[in-house]
Structure 1
Amino acid sequence: MTQVDLEDINTRLVSRFGSEAEGWLAGVPALAARLASRWDFELGELFDSGASSVVLRCRWSDGTPAVLKLSPDGALLTKQIEMLRVFAPTGRVPAVLAADADAGAMVLEEILPGTAAEDLPADSLPGRWGELLTALHAMTPPADWPWTLRGRFEESFERIGRRLAEPAINARISQATWRRAIDRCETLLSTQDPVVLLHGDLHLGNVLDGGASRGLVAIDPKACVGDPCFDAVDYVVEGAWHEGVEARCRVVADACGLDGDRLYAWSRVVAPMFVIAHLTYGGPERALDELLALTS
């Protein structure tokens, strides 16, 4: 890893886990080397890493390309392994090739060609998204599955809502706007029927091209039980950067066999969160204007 890579990863991990993540990150090269020896793979370059992990390419001894995922949060990794395995029969998530939750490590197959959904031809995506949802939502939730869409939103509203204290955020998203989103969410949660096992974090960056024979593959599930529309809402709201949310909602609802009115209602629930992300990371003003209109 280069110094620039390390600085970026360090910033994200410290933001998520606190200053103790710096010590953990310093030990990553030695940990990765031990696992390579133990599991008989060859380490490669740094792969796209999220806010809670370090990901490295690797190659199994038989030549199989894979990725090594390391996290300072062993409990989180254990949950991720469980979620990947519950969707494994669909073939629409990466296979877990090896795992050691105590070490905060797992090896996953590398999805090839691996093109992110946001870089695929836009006109082909709604139909392929529908096929992906059909496969994922066909899985029967385990009887004792502890995670629900309600719990997912309770955590999100609490965590993201803290950012309303920031002046730049509060100037665009008021407490009243946030409360309105919570009330809209409650209305939808109280009328969920049917409910399915959701991926739970199905945005365009979490969906990869698995090739013609496999179709789209979803990574990093936050599997929970809830309204099937939720697994299409991020894709719909990202239409604010392109053809518009309402136009995309109609196309996606038809392609995925979803209730278009509910899907649009969910877009109004998550719109304030998208506004906060837009204000944090930037983007075209027209997208911000449409997102703000959705929150009203």
Structure 2
Amino acid sequence: MITHYGSEISGWLDTVPDLLDQAAERWKLTLGVYHDAGHASVVATAVTLDGRPLLLKAWADPARFRNEVTALRLWAGGPTADVVEVADDLAAAALEMIGGEPGGGERPSRELQMVAAALHGLHTFGRRRPRPCDLPPLTTYLDEEIRPRVRRRLETVDLGSWHELVNVVLPELLALEEDDGRATVLHADLYRENVLFDWLGHPRFIDPLPMAGDAAFDWAFWTVYYDLGHGTDARLATASRIARIPVPVLAPWCRALAVDGLLYYLETADPRAPRMADVLARLSAPIQGNRP
């Protein structure tokens, strides 16, 4: 979290034990152990008076707390973790523990198809229910975060042998346009660790970074990042079939996210950079005419 927010977050981290104690006392929970400290929150296990296991989560950023809880409540009854308790003053919430234990249950053999169907269901909830007007719009994220940071990194990062590959894809990123007909509430953080499986083997989405916008963004994120460098073509084909978004429409979103990811990995000397470059090359093959 210090890497993500900077050293100024240290003061908040010092308050976390007391903050979690307050939440547990308020909701009559017995605290367990710290489970995870990610980029934006701290998570601990907890148990209710009747023995129900929960996760107690505290966010460093109140806005991120509000957005996540808003999205999870919008998706209530769908393939997500239930919100059990919320404390706005603490920026904390008690959430369902998927599968009864941290990390959820065993992943089924048909994971790919099941997650795709569940994501389609999540988007359906986002379309059919009244959409909160205070969720960040995808358009703002594209215009004020992704495109500016790509431009900045292009001036400072050494692309080496991937220079031509990035240059071919770059115009697509700048020209991406949303389709209002696909607008929904996006999860927007579809890494594999954010999709757990419950007692029945059903996928449940956790830790969203929600926005309102074109569902193509989520499908592209899932295609590129869910299992980076493995099964990309299968996810793209599955995403297109389930979402009914043609591959030629979905692929530019995938390439745009892959370019953004590659530049980030190069800037931070992340060892995943070559893997992301391979993903980008595969996704770019139709442009260069070298895909079978």
TM range (shorter): 0.7 to 0.9
Is residue 107 of structure 1 aligned with residue 94 of structure 2? Answer: yes
- The corresponding residue for 1:271 is 258
SS at the partner of 2:215? coil
Q: 2:183 aligns with which of 177, 188, 195?
A: 195
AA aligned to 1:224 is: M
- The corresponding residue for 1:241 is 229
Q: What's the CA shift for 1:136? A: 0.9
Is residue 53 of structure 1 aligned with residue 68 of structure 2? Answer: no
What TM-score do you get using the length of structure 2 for normalisation? Answer: 0.79
CA offsets 1:65-113 (integer angstroms, 9 cap, x no match):
11111123223212221111111132x1111111112212111111116
Is residue 138 of structure 1 aligned with residue 124 of structure 2? Answer: yes
* Aligned-residue identity in percent: 27
1:150-229 mapped onto 2 (5 Å cutoff): 150-157=139-146, 160-161=149-150, 164=153, 171=160, 177=166, 181=170, 183-185=171-173, 187-212=175-200, 215-229=202-216
Measured in 2, the distance between the counterparts of 1:100 and 1:135 equals 28
The answer to whether the Cα contact below 8 Å between 1:36 and 1:43 also exists between their aligned partners in 2 is: yes
- The corresponding residue for 1:128 is 114
1:64-103 mapped onto 2 (5 Å cutoff): 64-90=52-78, 92-103=79-90
Give the 3 Å change call, closer, same or farther, for CA 274–28 of structure 1 in structure 2: same
CA offsets 1:249-269 (integer angstroms, 9 cap, x no match):
123422444322222221111
Measured in 2, the distance between the counterparts of 1:184 and 1:16 equals 28
Give the 3 Å change call, closer, same or farther, for CA 46–163 of structure 1 in structure 2: farther
Measured in 2, the distance between the counterparts of 1:269 and 1:61 equals 48
What TM-score do you get using the length of structure 1 for normalisation? Answer: 0.78
Q: What's the CA shift for 1:141? A: 4.9
Which runs of 5 or more residues in structure 1 are unaligned?
1-12
Q: CA RMSD in A?
A: 3.3
Give the 3 Å change call, closer, same or farther, for CA 110–126 of structure 1 in structure 2: same
> What is the aligned length?
278
